[in-house]
Chains A and B, each alone.
Chain A
């Protein structure tokens, strides 16, 4: 029994770590196809990671311990977050250790460390990126919380496991309130993961970059860890979204027999979400930084609408 649980947990952690770069590659490939390019192939992120891991890292003279420790902290927090989300099965030992609010807290921890490390060398780009990332972060927080409140009210709990159990019972019927919440969640996910239209992950244009500005001074295995952590973060965000809004296929039984099917469904969900993300990123241009509050304000209002629909009509 315990072995069974440990196996599930370890397999999920390994799956998150290994599959996250593949998701990143899939999104890039989709964007290439949409732009009528050939693309570098699904495996390109792995090639990049392995190149970075082989290279000798360079660290500035002025760097403190915080600078060197942060890539490990980022990678670890993202993996821990990935270990706690019931993406495949609700019978996950670590899923009880943190609810959705705690998950949001774990992401905030990573964001603060990334920002502090960016300020460590005293470069203008680094602290500019840190400031912008923290800005987007705190503006996204209320919207994210409101998104999480709708399923929490429906199921009476902020635990993802309970939410999945409750919502999966309702079959394929989607609550109208959840549709609003899902739209808001997509917007928050774009902002939190530094995707278009809030930030462009593919450019290093000094004046507009947010997330990339914080990583400018990293190289070698440190940069590899940070890139990997970003990929895992996106993976986990999509995983949380799947658990909240599309919980079908997440197995609730003790047996191992249902697991392969659950994994297959998760892969399908991730592929669909990645394709959707690529479409959004192809269609929209980057916003000016001071339009981001409006973007996240819209997300907040959508989530509040979801909440009101839930109260007024009970759906």
Chain B
């Protein structure tokens, strides 16, 4: 039975009810268009409530509840602890911005499309909230599945194009392969219940099981596979670059910012809370997969020419960085270095927040560009800083944030990650203490590549001259879109400027997962965070920047006050002929294709000498299609053909097979 339990649950329940009502109300948009403008702003209000509830949960004691819903004897359990709280904050704040953007998006869509998005989007929000607060395997899996299905429907919003249908199918397929692994993981854990005790599905009961190391390892591997499929870890990342371009941009933002983090959340929940102390090989596996994912994501995003596909691969890269830090935390934890595990986890969770905010910002901004120009191909954009100056400024913040440069937020988590990699020398095994700092070099390479990719992205879309005549008619995005972008840009600035405050928020979650406090010190009245006597104080950097820049400007004005003269471009004396002579996205990909040939499958197309209509081209494909998925598909096909040959023509023989299977199973049962 339900008992009233405090403000945070109250806020979450009201948001859930509000969103359910909004989903229902959206059905009537085509009939009663008057309600349309209200749907998404109200949704944003609910998201704000969830964010506040998450903030409250971060510092309060964990609050559990049992909902009256569910099957008889199988109620839904809910629990708000620091980990749930942190992900609710991430989810809530990002969703406020996305709902605001959808308000503008809705206004220019047809009513049936707006209605469909309204229904599915709010169902997705409800199921995401439930994923983050579920406290038993049963309700978690129901929420997980609801999240998968509603997000699938959103991905295929544009279901009349075959690209969207194919991408949606791939998404739901990988999603379900992952979900099967998660079901298996929970089932194995539940089967560890000692004989005589009632079966219990709650995470607290599963935590008390203490399975032996082999079983725990198996459960961990299954969970890592399942949640990795959701988060987009190599080699299960292939759905991201397909699904993101076809989904509406606000939905891409939600996919990248929040849904991928649901995979991270599940991994953290199972690996650190439900399962006992990890074995070293867990951490090493997660670390290796994470680093590989980060490198492949960064390299692949550098060679893309579709804006949203580029950003999707960049999400793969960021998820890889987060996973690598989690792997390091598992490794520290396996050797009992709990404080260092907390440090690595704070780095991972900080990066989760950062990625949610800057990737949300970039996807929403891409949506504005897409709306203004109708173009996703980098080769047909350019010069938009003159047509959309406000969007361009906000996107510049997102670009610098994701490139990981101070004083923005991406740098803080990079810094923390590198600091925790440096601490790997504390590990008792020499090969680990020597090998893991090399992982830090890989992270530095990935961070540098991210800068390269973002210069390509921003430079080609917003700078230079418009590559198509149609771009001259591009218009600035609307006020709601700008509000969404502005909110996320502000969050990026805040997380970059006040790391001590953010770390104070994350600390309880890291403490919950590791049982220890990270050795991060705070100084300069909260402006500086420090690890091992080394510190970083972004506010001080900003002030120094400001003082020196102002002095430089004032002194130069006093000395040479002559205003600049406007003239045509010099370009070493060559006249500029046509905007298509500018560097292209493919040009930016060329050095990467040349240097990292081993990682990318490049097909070049060069004309023969006698070709009358010469065409040059190069197509870059994910190596995993050619080396893993296509052979796997062929293998399955062969198996199906064999089994089809076995299939009897008469029903009686089929029934015999069923009986035989049953007898075999009964014989095998203990």
Contacts and interface: CB of A to CB of B under 8 A. Distances in A.
A235 interface: no
Contact of A112 (B403, B536, B562, B587): B403
Nearest to B411: A105
A157 to B, nearest CB: 4
Secondary structure class of chain A's binding surface, majority of residues = helix
A98 B536 contact: yes
Contact of A72 (B460, B533, B549, B579): B549
A116 B463 contact: yes
Interface stretch (B51-59, B235-243, B434-442): B434-442
B572 interface: yes
B570 interface: yes
A66 interface: yes
Given A124-B581, A135-B591, A216-B571, A77 B422 contact: no
B588 interface: yes
Interface size class of A (residues with CB under 8 A): 35 or more
Nearest to B385: A64
Nearest to B559: A53
B444 A144 contact: yes
A38 B562 CA distance: 36
Contacts of B365: none
Interface string B535-555: 111001100110011001100
B564 A94 contact: no
Interface stretch (B100-108, B245-253, B277-285, B447-455): B447-455
Nearest to A118: B459
A58 B565 contact: yes
Given A112-B455, A116-B458, A120-B463, A94 B568 contact: no
B537 A122 contact: no
Contacts of B591: 131-132, 135, 290
Contacts of B486: none
A58 B553 CA distance: 17
Interface stretch (A148-156, A253-261, A273-281): A148-156
Contacts of B528: 96-97
Contact of A216 (B415, B460, B572): B572
Interface stretch (A18-26, A242-250, A263-271, A300-308): A300-308
Given A97-B537, A159-B535, A308-B434, A60 B567 contact: yes
B406 A106 contact: yes
B582 interface: yes
B455 A130 contact: yes
A42 to B, nearest CB: 23
B532 interface: yes
B383 A138 contact: no
B405 A108 contact: yes
Contacts, number: 252
Contact of A59 (B414, B464, B544, B565): B565
A111 B594 CA distance: 22
Interface string B215-242: 0000000000000000000000000000
Contacts of A100: 534
Interface in A44-74: 53-62, 64, 66, 68, 72-73
Contact of B534 (A109, A138, A144, A157): A157
Given A105-B404, A123-B569, A293-B595, A79 B415 contact: no
A100 B403 CA distance: 18
Contact of B451 (A108, A145, A221): A108
B615 interface: no
Contacts of B576: 122-123
B442 A131 contact: no
Given A61-B566, A61-B568, A119-B459, A77 B545 contact: yes
B193 to A, nearest CB: 46
A97 B459 contact: no
Interface string A139-174: 111111110010011001111001000000000000
Given A76-B549, A138-B448, A157 B455 contact: no
Nearest to A152: B422
B451 A311 contact: no
A162 B419 CA distance: 15
Nearest to B576: A123
A185 interface: no
A76 B464 contact: no
A76 B442 contact: no
B263 to A, nearest CB: 28
A212 to B, nearest CB: 11
A89 interface: no
B567 A61 contact: yes
A73 B433 CA distance: 39
Nearest to B594: A290
A115 interface: yes
A220 interface: yes
A56 B562 contact: yes
Contacts of A144: 444
A72 B546 CA distance: 11
Given A112-B403, A290-B595, A99 B536 contact: yes
Contacts of B116: none
A60 B445 contact: no
Interface string B302-321: 00000000000000000000
Contacts of B556: 53, 221, 225
Contacts of B545: 76-77, 80
B465 interface: yes
B400 interface: yes
B571 A125 contact: yes
B444 A122 contact: no
Contacts of B583: 119, 124, 127-128, 131
Interface string A178-206: 00000000000000000000000000101
A115 B404 contact: no
B210 interface: no
A201 B405 CA distance: 26
A64 B568 CA distance: 14
Interface string A75-109: 11101100100000000001011111110011011
A227 interface: no
Contact of B383 (A97, A122, A130): A122
Contact of B441 (A75, A79, A142, A217): A142
Given A123-B571, A221-B560, A290-B594, A156 B536 contact: no
10 contacts: A79-B552, A98-B541, A102-B411, A102-B536, A105-B414, A116-B459, A139-B445, A145-B418, A220-B564, A221-B556
Top 10 A-B pairs, shortest CB-CB distance: A138-B448, A122-B464, A127-B583, A119-B459, A141-B448, A99-B534, A159-B534, A122-B465, A97-B540, A109-B405
